[in-house]
Structure 1
Amino acid sequence: MKPGLQALCRIMLLVVTFMLFIHTAAAYTTIESGDTVVIDDVIDDDVIVAGGNVIIEGTVNGDVVVAGGTVNVKGTIEEDLIVAAGDVTISGTVGDDVRVASGTLTIDGSVQDDVISFTGETILADTGNIGGDLSAGSGKITILGDVVGNVEASAKEIDIEGNIGGNAELNAEKITISPDASIAGNLEYRSRSETKIEEGVVGNNIQYYEMEYHDNGRIVSSLISGLISYLALVLIGLIGLAIWPEYMENIAAKTSESPGMAFLTGLLVLIVASILAILLFVTIIGIPLGLIMMVTLFVMLYVARIIASIWIGRHLLSKMGKSTRTMNEMAFGLLVLLIVSAIPIIGGLIYLAATLIPIGNIYMAARN
């Protein structure tokens, strides 16, 4: 397997492992607000935050899950940080792992364990520190600070000027390694051309592989896109479970009761609602209602997949003799659903069924 793809597979493995064993605490503290959410006190619990602008200035003695436009961590998070956002800045301290899907990630503070990032750009500033490993899939990756462990990175451009305490596996069209940089272990990299590396920068062996970037780049982009979609759906599912836990579990439990009837009902609901929305758009007075109906359908499609994932995860994990929490079942089931849906023809049919059956059950539950 090519080093770049191998690195991405390891990233996927880390994400899957994390999602399967995501947490065992009893409950989350859910914080909801308008455009801006500010946490400036001490919270002795896990937190889910959703907002356009999220600022964490206080201390959270647990995990933090964030979905927002911009996220700025200035304070302290004692456990994991999980983020899906436009821009993320960590200038404070995260006591455990960081998982990020965002446009940009800037770390100029301290992360005491591993960082996994799927971003447009990842920047470890000269004041930043990662106490574990860095696994990154980005458009551009810049390492100016210190990484205590290993680095596995795939990008279009990688620039290393800081210190890496372990091995480095790099995959990029352009790789720049400063004479002031330091890689204590082995360096294995794949690029379109060899990179000039000053003597003494790499502590052990250097291995170069020539890369056909365009072919590999499309594969890398597809994998990163798929992983970002997966993380985004998991975050949507976590928020849904925090707001409607009993409702989503009850609908998921109905999946195996009358799947044929639910499928046909869901198909009928989707067709009728789409036709009604189009007819409403024809009349000026009906446009607002048509927009509301289209947004409702859009949300329902996502919620349906989350509900199907709960049932799939619960069913498969019970067959494996594992008993786990609903959020773990959802994360595992969603992963299985996305992988299966990639199979030509059959995967599309399964994905369609996993969408329409929950919609049918939602409609029948509402009607009753």
Structure 2
Amino acid sequence: MAPETSVRKRLAVVALVVVLLGAVPTGVAAQSESTVGGTVVVGEGETIDDLEAVAGTVVVEGTVTGDVSAAGGDVRIADGGEVGGNLEAAAGSVTIDGSVGGDVDAGAGNVEVGEGATVGGEFTAGAGNVVVNGALEGDAAIGAETIALGESASIAGDLRYDGDLQGNTDAVAGSITEDSTLGVEVGPTLQPLTTWLVALYTLALNLLLGAALLALFPRFSDGVADRVSTDPLRTGLVGLGVLIGVPALLVAAAITIVGIPFSIVGGFAFAFVVWIGIVYGRFAVAAWLLGYAGLENRWLALVVGLIGGAVLARVPFVGGLLNFLILLLGLGALVRGLYARRRTAETGTRGRRDRLGPDEPTGD
């Protein structure tokens, strides 16, 4: 194996390992942490100042003396977990079984305050379903389809609600007022956090995927860039055809029972191909533009292209349109490259058969 090929493969392996580590539970060791990962955990007996996280699961089993801002599939303050400040959460589900000393501002599919849990400040929730079995020591404002107050629930202040209020309304010490203006939006302070963390996470994943592609398939990647620069119109039209045609075929396949598994697997595979198309498109356009400046370096083109694409995504309307066109270029160049490889392989096989004759093995 050539030394250059060995290095490329090692780089690709490192990149893929880092991607996979994003799905592994991540402990929080710093005093104040801003993190992105598959699972973020403040472990039992651990104490930190503040936590900002975007992850599949965010769990506080220990102590956060300050605020927690979290976005993910599941956000939990476990039994014994403590948040000294405020909790802001946007998630599929938010569960509080421990204690929150400050305010809670939650937007989720389901929000639950468990038995024995306490919230020291105001409680604001917008969700599909909200269940309160613990103690809310301030006022509460809840907008949900179903709001259930358990037998162990207690609300020391007033309750404003919008939705179907059920259960132990005697748990409310103050007034109970129906307020149709309540919605399910998350508090505004969480929006900037989630926006930049998600953007950073996406950029990191794109860089890792791009590094793996360039390290494993350098010639193919160069061919993608060449197709975009030499024939952008044809390449973009091919990308548009693929983007429209493949989903149509998958939907058609899903009509039959036999085709449903194929359609599901094909949908995931196509989503991955589109992701590769995004990365290749940004890389190819950057390589094209850098070529005018005499800078022909595929790694520089990858970094410039992906950062440029991330910046474009922040530009209203125009940025989205340009990124869509870049996707078409990348997807079209990818498909054209794969087709060219297949044609080359078929031509080579036919050539060997012609040389060997019809009765001699080809080695296939």
Task: Please state whether the residue corresponding to 1:157 is helix, strand or coil.
Answer: strand
Q: For residues 274 and 206 of structure 1, do their structure 2 counterparts lie closer, same or farther at Cα, with a shift above 3 Å needed?
A: closer
Shift, 1:91, TM fit: 0.6
Shift, 1:191, TM fit: 1.6
Q: Which amino acid aligns with 1:166?
A: G
Q: For residues 62 and 232 of structure 1, do their structure 2 counterparts lie closer, same or farther at Cα, with a shift above 3 Å needed?
A: closer
Q: 1:146 and 2:114 equivalent?
A: no
The question of whether the paired residues in 1 share the 8 Å contact of 2:41 and 2:61 is answered with yes
Identity, % of aligned pairs?
A: 24
Q: For residues 329 and 122 of structure 1, do their structure 2 counterparts lie closer, same or farther at Cα, with a shift above 3 Å needed?
A: farther
1:166 match: 138
Q: 1:356 and 2:328 equivalent?
A: no
The question of whether the paired residues in 2 share the 8 Å contact of 1:131 and 1:147 is answered with yes
Q: For residues 267 and 193 of structure 1, do their structure 2 counterparts lie closer, same or farther at Cα, with a shift above 3 Å needed?
A: same
1:282 match: none
Pair member with larger Rg? 2
Of 254, 271, 275, the residue aligned with 1:299 is 275
Gaps of 5+ in 2: 1-14, 186-190, 211-230, 250-265, 284-305, 334-364
The question of whether the paired residues in 2 share the 8 Å contact of 1:147 and 1:163 is answered with yes
Task: Please state whether the residue corresponding to 1:59 is helix, strand or coil.
Answer: coil
The question of whether the paired residues in 2 share the 8 Å contact of 1:140 and 1:158 is answered with yes
Separation in 2, partners of 1:136, 1:304: 38
RMSD, aligned α-carbons: 5.2
Using structure 2 for the length normalisation, give the TM-score.
0.51
- Map 1:275-286; keep pairs closer than 5 Å: none
2:42 match: 73
- Map 1:181-330; keep pairs closer than 5 Å: 181-193=153-165, 196-198=168-170, 201-202=173-174, 205-209=175-179, 233-240=198-205, 266-268=236-238, 271=241, 294=270, 297-300=273-276, 303=279
Residues 158-203 of structure 1, C-alpha deviation per residue, up to 9 Å, x if partnerless? Answer: 121223243211112322224543334331101235654216633x
Of 113, 118, 137, the residue aligned with 2:107 is 137
Of 121, 125, 146, the residue aligned with 2:93 is 121
Q: For residues 187 and 242 of structure 1, do their structure 2 counterparts lie closer, same or farther at Cα, with a shift above 3 Å needed?
A: farther
Once the two structures are overlaid, the 10-residue window that deviates more, 74-83 or 140-149, is: 74-83
Separation in 2, partners of 1:187, 1:170: 8
Q: For residues 60 and 164 of structure 1, do their structure 2 counterparts lie closer, same or farther at Cα, with a shift above 3 Å needed?
A: same
1:315 match: none
Q: For residues 170 and 157 of structure 1, do their structure 2 counterparts lie closer, same or farther at Cα, with a shift above 3 Å needed?
A: same
Gaps of 5+ in 1: 1-29, 38-49, 221-225, 246-260, 279-289, 308-326, 341-348
Using structure 1 for the length normalisation, give the TM-score.
0.50
Q: 1:175 and 2:140 equivalent?
A: no
Shift, 1:299, TM fit: 1.6
Q: Which amino acid aligns with 2:178?
A: Y
Q: For residues 154 and 96 of structure 1, do their structure 2 counterparts lie closer, same or farther at Cα, with a shift above 3 Å needed?
A: closer
What is the count of residue pairs matched by the alignment? 252
Separation in 2, partners of 1:207, 1:333: 45
Q: Whose helix proportion is higher, 1 or 2?
A: 2
Q: Whose strand proportion is higher, 1 or 2?
A: 1
Q: For residues 55 and 67 of structure 1, do their structure 2 counterparts lie closer, same or farther at Cα, with a shift above 3 Å needed?
A: closer
Residues 85-111 of structure 1, C-alpha deviation per residue, up to 9 Å, x if partnerless? Answer: 1x4322123343321221x32212123
Q: Which amino acid aligns with 1:72?
A: V
Separation in 1, partners of 2:308, 2:113: 36
Shift, 1:114, TM fit: 3.0
Q: For residues 334 and 61 of structure 1, do their structure 2 counterparts lie closer, same or farther at Cα, with a shift above 3 Å needed?
A: farther
Separation in 2, partners of 1:241, 1:34: 10
Q: Which amino acid aligns with 1:177?
A: L
